[in-house]
Copies of this chain bind each other. A is one copy, B any other.
Amino acid sequence: MEDKMAMVIFQPSGQRGEVPKGINLIEASRLLGVDIETLCGEKKVCGKCKVRIEEGRFEKYGIDSKKSHVSPWQEEEDKYIKAKEKESGYRLACVTNVEGDLLVFVPEESRAGKQVVSKAARDIEIEQNPAVKIYYVAVEGPSFEEPTGDFERICRGLEKEYGLSNLRIDIQTLRQLPTALRDGDWKVTVSVWMDQEVIRVRPGKVENHYGLAIDVGTTTVAGYFCNLTTMEVVDTVSLMNPQCKYGEDVMARITYHMTTPDGLKRMSNDIIEGLNWLIDQAVKGTYPPKKKKKKEKGEKGPAEYVEVPEEGKTYLRLTREDIEDITLGGNTAMHHILLQLNPEHMGLAPFPPVIHHSLDIRARDLNIDINPSSYVFVLPNEAGFVGADNVGVLIAEEPYKKDEIQLIIDIGTNGELVLGNKHKLISSSCATGPALEGAQLQFGMRAAPGAIERINIDPETHEVDYKVIGRDAWRKYSEAKDMKAKGICGSGILDVLAELYNAGIVMKSGVFNKDQKSDRYRKNPDTNQPEFVLAWADESSISKDIVITQKDVRQIQLAKGALYAGCKLMMRRMGMEKVDKVKIAGAFGTHVDREKALIMGLFPDCEIEKILSVGNAAGDGCRAALLNRDKRKEANWVSRNVEYIELTVEGDFETEFMEALQIPHMTDEFPHLEGIVPDEILHQK
């Protein structure tokens, strides 16, 4: 009988195990806990998952090197794997199936690095009015004259002291109530949700209560852990969206749902597990667990603060139950997948979501492990491709309260645009695609250590200076071997096009200038395509020249063209020639160089000073909804009062898009580039 399992070992990590024969190497890597980059979600179009197969059986089975233990070569692989690489055993992991015992080497450029997340909390003004409030109440114990039940007893106290009436109580909290009342000698602190429902009762007087605002991005999940009493951000926590292993962008995830039984449930479980991990981080951060002191006799429940004399510090001592409220934002696909709502229809024209309105869902119904009676508030969606994350941006930035015309661009894996002021707001989304985030480019990567994030090119010498994530010193102040560059990430990608253009290396059309003086410009011998070397092999950790190719430039042009055309069409729809302010949001937005963004023509012309980076505004909106319940109403209002425009059905989208592919040159459209871009470049024909 043939064995149905095969032993697979991944190098250099050494992770190993038996996997069912017939699965592909990406699936095998997941089973064995190895991270292989799969930007396209196994759609065979990114070529990022190259691995080297080293055939052979292991001692346990004896040697049998004549038989191939992988499935045959696929046509698609020719596009990404050169003849020479093929010879030495390179394959795409996504099309290569396990047929027998294998030793697989994962080269560094194929390893999924841990993304560097930078979503710190901004100072934004929020009025204090959280959905969950705490009330201290002291009542008389029961007697024969007054044998009223426990719940009615505290309700009477809450009504008398605070005017709260018609309260209800969740069954889980009701179960705690008798003990809390008696432990606290009929004095308790009651947490009330929306002045409607008792969701927690703690003995005695407690001063503080806590909540978490979470922005679920396609790539990054960021959480703001807030004290709901003092309004302070206690901590910010983040993680990679664990769904990244199913594909980088929303369409890859939707495809995964449509092609995999239980795929939706699996992705939902993964993000929920991620949120629970995030909650754990938030709570753990408040008090070092190894210092946890033992509960002393007679002590009633854990004290909120604990002193650590040897450190001279006082720490918060919190548990998961101390989180009493959560707000959640995310694009419509992340929203649907997290809630296990079918995302299939929102992925197809005319892109209807399952729901727009916000939701109050009991945390336990989502398996989110906090105070068991608490609710999770899920922000509303605007449309299929403008989701709750954009609503978050809106309630943080409040363009609907301003006179000035704002253009807000949220660049995540998808581009979301809002334009208008207090009289009218319209929104749209455009398929920037993942190019601006590093996918689809030959050396594109996520914002992980080794990624080039800043680039300057000397217009005279065409020498390249750059900075990588994980190292403060720029190239020109470093030894080559210390740079350890691996690829180029989002912010570097924006820089590179502006710099190549500014230095005259590429023309306004995006074509490389053939009249080059630098040895960094060359034609690739294999593809016969022009390319420009950003970092030489000895500066890299992958022993290869890191280049930007003609094809890469085209990809960036497609992305920026989509964004620019979107902005342009929205302005036309609103009958506008110019905007008063451009706000760039998104994790991407915090890193982008606004001058370079304007040079490459990411959006229509605007005074440089009026271009603002607003960081993770979506997360700020979640935080606003956490700390001020009125923001929740505002969110629902704005989600139904922003007019969503589907750009691709506008008649002149194609024309605008084609024009927008060009890098801006001197036309009436970009007066503000004058003096920033050299004259001979700006006025080129």
User: Which residues of chain A have a CB within 8 Å of any CB of chain B?
Assistant: 142-144, 147-153, 168-169, 171-172, 174-175, 177-179, 182, 339-342, 344-345, 349-357, 359-362, 365-366, 381, 383-384, 644, 646, 649
Contact = CB atoms under 8 A, between A and B. Distances in A.
A169 B361 CA distance: 10
The 8 closest A-B pairs by CB, nearest first: A142-B352, A151-B355, A147-B350, A149-B353, A144-B350, A149-B356, A178-B342, A150-B354
B384 A147 contact: yes
Nearest to A169: B355
A359 B171 contact: yes
Contacts of A143: 350
Contacts of A381: 149
Contacts of A352: 142, 147-150, 153
Each complex incorporates copies of this chain amounting to 2
A474 B178 CA distance: 53
Contacts of A341: 174-175, 178
A354 B178 contact: yes
Contacts of A384: 147
Nearest to A382: B149
A673 B151 CA distance: 47
Nearest to A148: B352
A365 B177 CA distance: 17
Contact of A354 (B147, B151, B342): B151
Given A179-B342, A365-B171, A357 B151 contact: yes
Given A178-B342, A342-B178, A342-B179, A171 B354 contact: no
Contacts of A362: 362
26 contacts: A142-B350, A142-B352, A143-B350, A144-B349, A144-B350, A147-B383, A147-B644, A148-B356, A149-B353, A149-B355, A151-B357, A152-B357, A153-B352, A168-B357, A169-B355, A171-B339, A171-B359, A174-B339, A174-B354, A174-B355, A175-B340, A175-B342, A177-B354, A177-B355, A178-B341, A182-B345
A171 B363 CA distance: 11
A355 B175 contact: no
A171 B362 CA distance: 9
Given A142-B350, A365-B171, A356 B147 contact: no
A644 B151 CA distance: 18
A150 B355 contact: yes
